[in-house]
Amino acid sequence: MSRQLAIIVTLVAGVLMVVSGFIKPTQGWGEDAAEWFNILAAMAFVLGAANLAKVHLSKISSRDAGWGFSAVTLLAFAVTLAVGLFKVGVNPMPAFPDVPMSGGKDAEGSAFWWVYTYVLSSITATMFSLLAFYVASAAFRAFRAKNTEATLLLVAAFIVLLGRTFAGVVLTGWIPADSDWAFLRFENLSTTIFEVFASAGNRAIIIGIALGVAATSLKIILGIDRSYMGSGD
């Protein structure tokens, strides 16, 4: 029963979003549906947070391997949740000084802001920066000119790497910038690769993806693709 209802909900929601873009009287309905979608997206954050707590609590209670780190996760989760929910260290809005919780949750100096600035920012930024090292290692081990295609890839990468820094200027700076051969300067070759070849290649990919997304969306709206409901369909 709920699966049949789900198919109807998908159909109605999908068709509404499509027609609201073209038929003026349905525009308001489309906006409302999108607004409900936005509220559900925020609910999904809460669901994600609750699910994380549930998973790690079960890990701790069953003393699974690495349960100590689950405890760290839960502690970090609980502290962040508490300081954010109760707006610890947040002052009221100057326009409403009689409402203590009227200030912004992440006002400078608050506990939630502290967690964001010194914990969340530093860890996420560092984690992303680790990839600089792995990409270097991969370039040494796997970036080999084995055939024509691989050589093209390698040469393009070379030109972009040199042309996007001062190295390109130093290496090909002897070619006069106003001569007919100026396009051979690394910085110009890099621009050409970016604006012509990468643009064309990515445009082909974009058009291909657009066709795929359009087909998949139609299949979902019409109830042909029901994979989002889980196994069995």
Report 167-186 residues binding another protein (CB under 8 A): 167, 169, 183
Q: Which of 57, 61, 64, 165 binds another protein (CB under 8 A)?
A: 165
CB of 14 to another protein, least distance (A): 4
* Distance, CA of 42 to CA of 135 (rounded, Å): 35
CB of 64 to another protein, least distance (A): 13
Burial of 168 (0-12, 13-18, 19+ CB in 10 A): buried
Q: What is the DSSP string of 72-119?
A: HHHHHHHHHHHHHHTTTTPPPPTT-TT-GGGS-TT-TTSHHHHIIIII
Q: What is the size of the binding site for another protein (CB under 8 A)?
A: 161
* Distance, CA of 190 to CA of 160 (rounded, Å): 5
Distances (CA, A) of 169 to 17, 39, 100, 153, 197: 51, 51, 58, 22, 21
Residue in this structure with the two tokens 């979902």, named with its chain if needed: 220
CB of 48 to another protein, least distance (A): 6
Q: Which of 23, 57, 64, 131 binds another protein (CB under 8 A)?
A: 131
Q: Which of 62, 63, 65, 127 binds another protein (CB under 8 A)?
A: 127
CB of 205 to another protein, least distance (A): 7
Site for another protein in 66-125 (CB under 8 A): 66, 69-70, 72-81, 84-85, 91-99, 101-109, 112-125
Hey, what are 187's tokens?
A: 């910085």
CB of 135 to another protein, least distance (A): 6
Q: Which of 23, 57, 64, 143 binds another protein (CB under 8 A)?
A: 143
Q: Which of 25, 65, 137, 174 binds another protein (CB under 8 A)?
A: 137
- State CA 111 to chain mean position distance: 26
Instruction: Give the residue from 162, 164, 160, 182 showing the smallest Cα distance to 173.
Output: 182
CB of 151 to another protein, least distance (A): 9
Instruction: Note whether 57 binds another protein by CB under 8 A.
Output: no
Number of neighbours of residue 108 by Cβ within 10 angstroms:
9
Q: Which of 25, 148, 174, 178 binds another protein (CB under 8 A)?
A: 148
Hey, what are 18's tokens?
A: 């499509």
Q: Which of 62, 63, 65, 126 binds another protein (CB under 8 A)?
A: 126
Site for another protein in 186-215 (CB under 8 A): 187, 190-211, 213-214
